[in-house]
Amino acid sequence: MNGFERWALVASPTAVAQTAAAELADAMDWVAFDDADVVIALGGDGFMLQTLHRLLERRALPVPVFGMNLGTVGFLMNEWRRHGLQERLARARPFKVTPLAMTATGIDGRIHTLPAINEVSLLRETRQTAKLEVTVNDRVVLPELACDGILVATPAGSTAYNFSAQGPILPLGSAMVALTPISAFRPRRWRGAILPDKARIGLRVLDPGKRPVSAVADQREVRDVAQVDICMDRQHELTLLFDPEHALDDRITMEQFIA
């Protein structure tokens, strides 16, 4: 059983996920979320992100998560099946996911530190184009980027918002992050960069009073930011479990061949 003794079951509030949770209620002697050494998550990708963030907020080290898709896309999930869960956990392949750490300083001087498993994105708040200074390891690489926004994506998140913004798909384990502009106006030919995941990325908002910008770490937003600093948080690695025939690394690779 892959060494797991205490299992927790969590489910999205959607009707289909709640029905599935009821079907599994008698399958195991479930324990509370904070007492588990493995979590079974029922829902879609959004609910998986919520579950992973919940694990990051625990005092103890995060435990592995095995998700089953009862949402829309289910990129981070396995196929939903009611039976054979113990056997599937015994065969499951683990994949490590390192979150980003976002430190956002507001124009009021307040500092907000948030994790991001998929991406950190900066977005203009009004009709005014955002203007940003971009630094990598304290070196200014773009003195002024005029755009709707910019994002930093992990390999696990590179197939999500990053891909929609024409960013590259990063293989899991590539030790890279994607720096992708959103509707860049100047410089016109800059389409983003692929950086080592050891890089420290700084994004300073130019003229934040006239051109306000918000920062979003996955699903959590900080408005009216003046500076955002991003790096990998290696102290809080997460583990996702997948059926061998439906593994995350293969899915990310195959996304590059979908027309």
Which residues are annotated binding-site positions? 45-46, 118-119, 148, 156, 159-164
Which of 259, 238, 257, 251 minimizes the C-alpha distance to 118? 238
Phi, psi of 234 (to 5 degrees): -80, -10
140 touches 216 (CB < 8 A): no
Binding residues for NAD(+): 45-46, 118-119, 148, 156, 159-164
Annotated catalytic residue 45: yes
Structure tokens at 2: 């892959």
223 touches 214 (CB < 8 A): yes
**Run of H or E residues at 143:** strand 139-147
Of the residues 29, 45, 207, 243, only one is catalytic, namely: 45
Which of 153, 119, 142, 258 minimizes the C-alpha distance to 206? 142
12 touches 71 (CB < 8 A): yes
What size, in residues, is the chain? 259
Cβ contacts of 209-212, under 8 Å, gap ≥ 24: 209/107, 210/128, 211/124, 211/126, 211/128, 211/129, 211/130, 211/131, 212/107, 212/124, 212/125, 212/126, 212/128
Which of 99, 101, 100, 81 minimizes the C-alpha distance to 91? 81
Which of 97, 98, 96, 94 minimizes the C-alpha distance to 244? 94
Catalytic residue ranges: 45
